[in-house]
Structure 1
Amino acid sequence: MRNDQYEGQVMLPPRPLQPLKGRGAVANIQGRYEVNGREAFDDGWTDEQTHGEDAPRIWRTHVTEEMAKTILSRNQSPDIPFGVSLNPYRGCEHGCIYCFARPSHSYLGLSPGLDFESRLYAKVNAPELLRSELCKPGYKVEPIALGVNTDAYQPCERDYKLTRRVLEVLQECDHPVGLITKSALIERDLDILAPMAARRLAAASITLTTLDPKIARTLEPRAAAPERRLRAIRTLTEAGIPVGVSIAPIIPFVTEPEIEKIMEAARDAGAIAASYVVLRLPWEVNPLFQQWLEAHFPDRAQRVMNRVREMHGGKDYDATFGSRMHGAGIWADLIRQRVEKAIVRYDLGGGRGLRFKHLDCASFKRPLVVPPAGTRAKAAARAGQMELF
């Protein structure tokens, strides 16, 4: 089934669409690999006192620990400014309705909707896998982008600390890293990032979609508020860490009017570079976003989608390299011109964003090999046996 043909079988919420407090998705649409379609149906047995129309709907977060088999992802996409990435978590509690990673939950037999932001997976062996990867004789050094598919500093990182442990391995090896986040939790790791940045081994990019806290609460419900992200940019900058701002995504008639204000605020906070991406609606993101539009911006939903289609050749989404990130056509060109002029006006680095490839790759040294606990015990036992002879 082609992306432009995907409509998504939806477990339909009541009309009008009722958003959930603290969640981005309105419903749990079915993934594209599901065989059977399902639809919500009230058979009259609902307890109106506890499940009625006015009763709050609670969707709790569950984190499952998993042992990953691999940890580094490589890509050759010509429009992505890095070749290697690492994601300590699958799913993301930030709940950003536009997240391009949502469809990946379909591979798990889960919904890209509410499941994506509430049923998470923590790769608890990520630091050990990374160490093993860096030990390989054929490993070639290039900056690792941390937190690309899902945010490495989402709320569960406070407990699991996988991102911090990964950074500790990279610091030990003098390995360059670029971080992409919309969370202020990155400030926790200044003690690692600041010394690495001083040696051109670390840089950060903060995603800033809107300055309007009301829009942010529905668009990115569990991410840091816009003002808090600006404060994080300032804190990182003062610690000597180069910071860029990513205006992503630009949504016509929703966040698009703020382009220049976002860039000015980011410059004032200390950002040295800027980049942007227009709204992308791959696979299940398309029906999820349109549900969100109907729930939060019913007065302009049709206008938004008309402009989105105009930037993607008449389709809801065009995945063609070279145009998928910035779109094509008159409206996309107007956005490009506005961004480029604002970059010059606010001295934000020529429009290419923060280039992680400029980080130092020459200082890398392979980590010490630390065998698993079971292996160490066997080695000690063998040593004891040898002493008998």
Structure 2
Amino acid sequence: MLNFTYKNQTEILFGKGQVAAISQRIPTSARILMLYGGGSIKSNGVYQQVQQALSQHQVWEFGGVEPNPSYETLMQAVALGREQHIDFILAVGGGSAIDGAKFIAAALHFSGDPWDILIAKAKFTQVIPIGAVLTLPATGSESNGNSVVTKKATAQKRSFSSTLVQPQFAVLDPEFTYSLPKRQISNGIVDAFVHVMEQYLTYPVHAEIQDRFAESILQTLLDVGPKALKQPENYQHRANLMWAASMALNGLIGAGVPQDWSTHMIGHELTALYGLDHAQTLAIVLPALMFVQRHQKHAKLVQLGRRVFAIHDQNEDVVIDQTIKAVQDFFETVGVKTRLSDYQLDGQVVQNVVNNLERNGMTALGERNDIDLKKAAAILRLAL
């Protein structure tokens, strides 16, 4: 096991009615920016519950944060925050709203060009605190310091990470997910699954606790994911899905182990260039990447197949082939297509994505930094 330091500072408020508790966690003197997306929170009752909880607070609203939040939109929120001297951000929504809140928190008092936080990893020290009310189980953004932002003007999707912008608290009420469209739940299942895989499917370092914990999250997603789709108002299915997605990326299973993240980096370019949903890109890239990297990931692929999918053929190559197919089939089962052609994309996408990877310096990806542009192209061609 590799050396690690682990601390998770986010207080999780899990369960029905927990949104009421946020009033005790934000000072009454705070000037709050309430950040949300397209407005669905106003039709499903979440907005009203948040407003009631904050009835004694000063609140300014900023709606319209897109899926894959855009730099251009978030900079409008930064301008509002500066104008109104905002000193607390409450993100209400999924990972996009929470990612956006993290960028705003970092950018609000940043003296330079805020894009440098993403493109040049510019340091920042003065941030404002964040809270989150989660409505979509997917990214785990509610309990980590990661943020991904897309600049539409240059078709670049970039990320940064800092414990300084990790939410102080997060409300996880499974009932808030009942009204979500199936597509969003499907995407959330895939996103959480791939988050685990990026931290698990590398090479063994004798981290038995992390491996077993990661496998249990994968098994939970395999079990409750389809059930949560079929029974949208089953509290227990939605509760387990919500908690699995949060645990997938709160830092615990990634402590002391090598991590990959090449599926995400290649997927980010597909979103930036073609507007695909984040989870759609992951479902496209991961099975092809597993095949291309099968030798480098041999031991963990066999372990995944045997422990998670109960594939016990004596021939390890057969186990790997069947495991890759099982992952691809699972994505299809929960309603997320796994081929570029499923999204009306042809062979030209390969060179376009490779060009963007090169432009953004993504030329040595993976846990061994051995996924170069040539391998990235091979992965994309296999995914056609």
Normalising by structure 1, report the TM-score: 0.25
Which structure has more relative contact order (CA 8 Å, sep 6+)? It is: 1
The structure where helix makes up a greater share of residues is 2
Structure number with greater Rg is: 1
